[in-house]
Amino acid sequence: MIKNILTQIWNQRRTNSWLFAELVIVFVLLWFCVDVLYGLVFARLQPKGYDQEHVYKITVNSRKDQFVKMQDADSISRFWWKPLSEVIKSFKQYPGVESVCTSFGTDAYSNNTMFQGYHVDGDTSNVFVSNIRYVDPEYMHTFRIPMLHSIHKNLKDEDWNAINDVTPAIVSAELADSLWGTTNVIGKRFSDYYSPDLHYKVIAVSDPQKNSDYNRYESYIMTPYPERVYKMQAIPSIYIRVKADADNNDFSNRFIKTMSARIHIAPFYIFDIESMKYYKQLDDAQQGVTSEVNNTMLMMSFFTFNVFLGLLGTFWFRTNSRRGEIAIRMAMGSSRKQTAVHFLTEGVLLLAIASLPAAIIGLNIWNADLTVTIHADATVLRLIFTLIITFILMAIITLIGILIPSKRAMHILPAEALHEE
């Protein structure tokens, strides 16, 4: 049957040529779109190295009318950090709050980043740049950061103390790999490139970290707050983890209302509380991922609609002009179902033939590095996978497009059709 259909496709090459050209072009365009989405989905499915479910970020600001600029470290500690820590402490008392943490430096889901260069002791020629995040010990619990290796299964607060001027540090797998070529590096030492007397000792290695869902993995170092932070009138990022059963849509509203009424610690006030989910959306929007997805989907729907229309039209006219042939088939004992299958097979075969040159074009585009590789590498597996997905997608549209005309063909009465001329 397939040989028979192939002969028919060849004989009708004149009318098939338009459809063929369209199938090839749309296959390539659709493949490109699928490839873009593949990159995004691939990056999205990678574990982020932390869990931001039920985590909220609280923005605490200082009131302009109560703000006093201070120079002296002692008064900053007394009139800035002490009241601020009281504010932060009070968050923990709110019902449903599991843990509270603060951080400085590279923020999750934000373009607020801080970088430093690091090297293994004694080797200043190989400097690796890494995101730096100053955190308190609670940070690991709040964000539930999984560790590959760690001196204790659960890090304790006293692990966070510097010993003999050596600061404890948690490095991400990426940074450990850049510095030592392996991730099992507990107890190893390294130093800051720009401030040579800053030394670190690895107390844990975390899973690979990324700043947002669609980014690639980056190097991270998490270490305690340096002394200089306490000499500034700064406000860290504050996060709370809410118990799953206490978390609901109204949580942030109730929290800000209750806490604003309760807390009057000059010069601070609670400005805002938003879930990490919101910051993720905001970050996606700022990075342009949301519009990238939207535009790609829109393009895809346009192309698929056109292929659908093209197939529908071509096969509609085909069943019309081939009424005689269909009638003869039926007269020779072909069932109605077989007639429909015949047309569907013809469509899929045509698509299969068209997908060969399309795949070759795709291969060349891939080879010339013209695919979007911001979010994931262009691997051979990716090429094959996206080509298969595109074929399946096209096959589905082909079948839907031909189904209506072939249904019509099914209902041709052989006697009438053969009688026509």
How far apart CA 242 and CA 267 sit, in angstroms, is 26
How far apart CA 313 and CA 189 sit, in angstroms, is 71
Minimum CB distance to another protein, residue 343 (Å):
15
Minimum CB distance to another protein, residue 22 (Å):
5
**Chain mean position to CA 321:** 50
The answer for residues whose C-beta is within 8 angstroms of residue 411's C-beta and 6 or more apart is 336
Which residue lies nearer to another protein by CB, 309 or 413? 309
Which residue lies nearer to another protein by CB, 230 or 317? 317
How far apart CA 278 and CA 271 sit, in angstroms, is 16
Write down the residue that tokens 């504050």 correspond to: 238
Which residue lies nearer to another protein by CB, 225 or 316? 316
Minimum CB distance to another protein, residue 184 (Å):
30
**What beta strand segments (E) does 137-267 contain?**
147-150, 166-172, 189-192, 199-206, 220-223, 237-242
**Chain mean position to CA 16:** 41
Minimum CB distance to another protein, residue 182 (Å):
27
Which residue lies nearer to another protein by CB, 186 or 282? 282
What dihedral do alpha carbons 137, 142, 143, 148 form, nearest 10°? 50
How far apart CA 17 and CA 316 sit, in angstroms, is 16
Tell me the two tokens of residue 261: 């009424």
Q: Are strands 237-242 and 55-62 parallel, antiparallel or unpaired?
A: antiparallel
Write down the residue that tokens 């080509």 correspond to: 387
Which residue lies nearer to another protein by CB, 77 or 291? 291
The answer for residues whose C-beta is within 8 angstroms of residue 315's C-beta and 6 or more apart is 343, 347, 401, 402, 405, 406
Minimum CB distance to another protein, residue 338 (Å):
24
Which residue lies nearer to another protein by CB, 66 or 248? 66
Which residues in this chain contact another protein in the complex, by CB under 8 A? Answer: 15, 18-19, 21-22, 25-26, 29, 61, 63-66, 115, 117, 193-194, 269, 271-272, 278, 281-282, 285-286, 290-291, 294-295, 298-299, 302-303, 305-306, 309-310, 312-314, 316-318, 321
**What beta strand segments (E) does 227-341 contain?**
237-242, 268-275
Which residue lies nearer to another protein by CB, 230 or 305? 305
Minimum CB distance to another protein, residue 381 (Å):
27
Minimum CB distance to another protein, residue 145 (Å):
26
Phi then psi for 102, rounded to 5 degrees? Answer: -135, 155
The answer for residues whose C-beta is within 8 angstroms of residue 409's C-beta and 6 or more apart is 319, 322, 326, 339, 340, 343
Minimum CB distance to another protein, residue 276 (Å):
14
Which residue lies nearer to another protein by CB, 10 or 194? 194
Contact 149, 186 (CB under 8 A): yes
Minimum CB distance to another protein, residue 207 (Å):
27
Which residue lies nearer to another protein by CB, 124 or 184? 124
